[in-house]
Amino acid sequence: MRRALAALVGSCAVGLAACNPSPPAVSVLVVTLDTTRADHLGSYGATRARTPNLDALAAQGIRYQHAYSPAPITLPAHASLLTGLYPFEHRVRGNGDFRLSDCAQTLAEVLQRQGYRTGAAVGAFVLDRRFGLAQGFDWYDDAISEQRTSGSFGFAERPAPAVTDAALAWLSEQPPNRPFFLWVHYFDPHAGYESHAAASEFSGLPPYDAEIAFVDREIGRLLGWLRESGRDTETLVVAAADHGEGLWEHGEISHGYFVYDSTLRAALIVRLPDRAHAGSAVAAPVSLVDVFPTVLERLGIPVGDVSGETLPLVEHETGAAPRSIYFENYAVATSFGLSPLRGIVRGRDKWIEAPRPERYDLVSDPHEIDNRHQRDDPGSAELRAAFERFLDDDERRLPDDCESSFAVDADTAARLNTLGYAAGFARREPGDRVGGPDPKDAVEDHRAILDAEARVGVGQRAQAAEVLAAIVGRIDYVNPRALTRLAELAVAEPGRETAIAALLPYLERDLDPALHFTIAAKLGVGLGRIGRYAEAVHAFEIAARLGPDNAEVRRGLEAARRLQIGVP
């Protein structure tokens, strides 16, 4: 069905006047806020929040009290918002080593074919055009390297004012008689947080809330342009968080590890051009995949076969059958070697499929403390069956020949590292039942890795190496994130010898090829620098078998062999 729709829309692109003689007058502005918890916005009840622009938007529109991200990580969540498909359907399961396939149809592509001018300005490298989200955009501003700041953990980003400046410059070039679709992404609330203490308007706020307030001010500039240009009553506005932030709930400092509501629940506000249903709130669970069909339905454009459903404008009638809202976290498997987490929200109930499953009543237990599944609750079997039915009944997965993997080059890996992501390792295809410990049982390892990364960020390389070496020396599973960070520490002092000693046992293990290559190549460099040439040759030989086309490895191998026999 999706391919048939694409062919129909494509034929309209050839003869647009025949299919749509007068392009729709309504423009679309989608604003995404990275890592923004709904309960830290004033319109969602946060008393200390300073979010007047988002609060005003909610007062003029519809606020979704229980909107869910399909994955608590940036790239999969945005891919779902822009396609109306869940991650296991579009096959983007994490950051860095996945790319949205050209087989997918994005909101920008649909609107572009309908005569819209399409533009995007993004605030983080993780949404760089190389990861596939630029499909359908006439203008895609991902110039992150041109303006960058670093937070306390060294996470690179383009600050919100620069993103807004780029978006407003593009808007000012749009003809008044032609509709536009603009997506603006703000990364600032992502860790590490800046306090913005120099600005009195943010004084007294915790750094995380100051970041949200900082972004809110920039959203005010965007909405102000709509008012001043006279286009606010001609523009459908969507403001959505891609996911939340742990803030130490359940022991999770940031996101991408668990799937509790602290990181899955997303702010979602929709303002209709005519301000219909202004100030209303919908409590029924919805998903970010619903943005795609909602925008198209409001514009009168055929939606096609997607998993998203049109967002309700008012609360559902009491007694309506609950809908299953799917979510997943495969990043915890690909980055940390642990079991993936998946599940559904169904009405007031939440099911988390894990080695030790969890079931929560989100009304009586909103912080997900009481795992009812542990008490042999009779509702668990029904909820788990609903989860299995959801996966079995889905027929919207992109075909296997639609490439979704991404070959991570050195530049991409380095830039993702600045964001705290380790890409390129242990990638799993949709449907795989990946083994590994339950993330609940390895949370101390996770926190230790984050501590080591923070130490690297402040120059404490030797201490970081000791922390990571202790982790990989005692665990009985392969943790790609810890091993990757150790490999980076193995090439230079201080901390080099500690890192090398911890990595050597892994050199002979059966590892994911990309991870194995990284360990072998870095060990070759580190061992060579401390004069252990025979071991360096062995490490480079393993790396050369795994990456025969890598010129740096070949040069390293040749140099190590010469030094081994005493030839300079």
For residue 188, tell me if it sits in a domain. Answer: yes
pTM: 0.88
Considering the domain architecture, whether residues 295 and 358 belong to the same structural domain is answered as: no
> Does the pLDDT value for residue 4 go beyond 70?
no
Segments in 24-102 forming alpha helices (H): 52-60, 74-83, 87-90
State whether 342 and 309 are in the same domain.
no
Instruction: Report the C-alpha gap between 347 and 360 in whole angstroms.
Output: 11
* Per-chain mean pLDDT for the chain: 87
Q: Is 352 a domain residue?
A: yes
> Structurally, how many domains does the chain consist of?
3
Q: How far apart are the first and last CA of the chain?
A: 65
Give mean pLDDT, residues 28-50. Answer: 96
The CATH number given to whatever domain includes residue 117 is 3.40.720.10
At 200, list the tokens.
């009195």
| Position 113 confidence tier, pLDDT thresholds 50, 70, 90 | very high
Same domain, yes or no: 476 and 354: no
pLDDT band per the 50, 70, 90 thresholds, residue 9 = very low
Q: Are residues 72 and 156 in the same domain?
A: yes
Same domain, yes or no: 199 and 92: yes
406 pLDDT above the threshold of 80 = no
Q: Is residue 483 part of a domain?
A: yes
- Write down the pLDDT at residue 18: 35
Do residue 100 and residue 59 come from a single domain? yes
pLDDT value for 403: 61
For the cut 90, the answer to whether the pLDDT of residue 353 exceeds it is yes
371 and 348 in one domain?
yes
pLDDT over 60 (residue 349) = yes
Express each pLDDT in 198-217 by its tens digit: 788 888 899 999 999 999 99
Q: Is 417:329 a contact under the CB 8 Å cutoff?
A: no
Determine the pLDDT at residue 10.
Answer: 42
What's residue 446's pLDDT?
92
- Reported as a pLDDT band with limits 50, 70 and 90, residue 404 is low
- 276 and 349 in one domain? no
pLDDT for the residue numbered 321: 79
| Residue 421 confidence (pLDDT) above 90 | no
The count of C-alpha atoms lying within 13 angstroms of the C-alpha of 72, restricted to the half-sphere facing its C-beta, is 24
Q: Which of 373, 389, 405 corresponds to the end of one domain?
A: 389
Identify whether residues 377 and 460 lie together within a single domain: no
pLDDT above 90 covers a percentage of the chain that reads: 71
- Phi, psi angles (nearest 5°) of residue 88: -70, -10
Q: What mean pLDDT is predicted for residues 474-488?
A: 93
Q: What is the predicted pLDDT for the residue at 470?
A: 96
What domain range includes position 383? 331-389
Kindly report the length of the chain.
Answer: 568
Based on the domain organization, do 276 and 369 belong to the same domain? no
Q: For the domain that residue 531 is a member of, what is the CATH number? A: 1.25.40.10
- Domain assignment present for residue 492? The answer is yes
CA distance 211 to 206: 9
**Does a structural domain hold residue 81?**
yes
Residue 511 in any domain: the answer is: yes
* Statement to judge: residues 80 and 161 lie in one domain: yes
Q: Out of 265, 288, 318, pick the residue that ends a domain.
A: 318
Q: Decide if 7 is inside a domain.
A: no
- What tokens were used for 344? 């559904």
**Residue 432 pLDDT class (50, 70, 90 cuts):** very low
Say whether both 28 and 96 belong to one domain.
yes
Contact 250, 370 (CB under 8 A): no
pLDDT reading at 183 higher than 80? yes
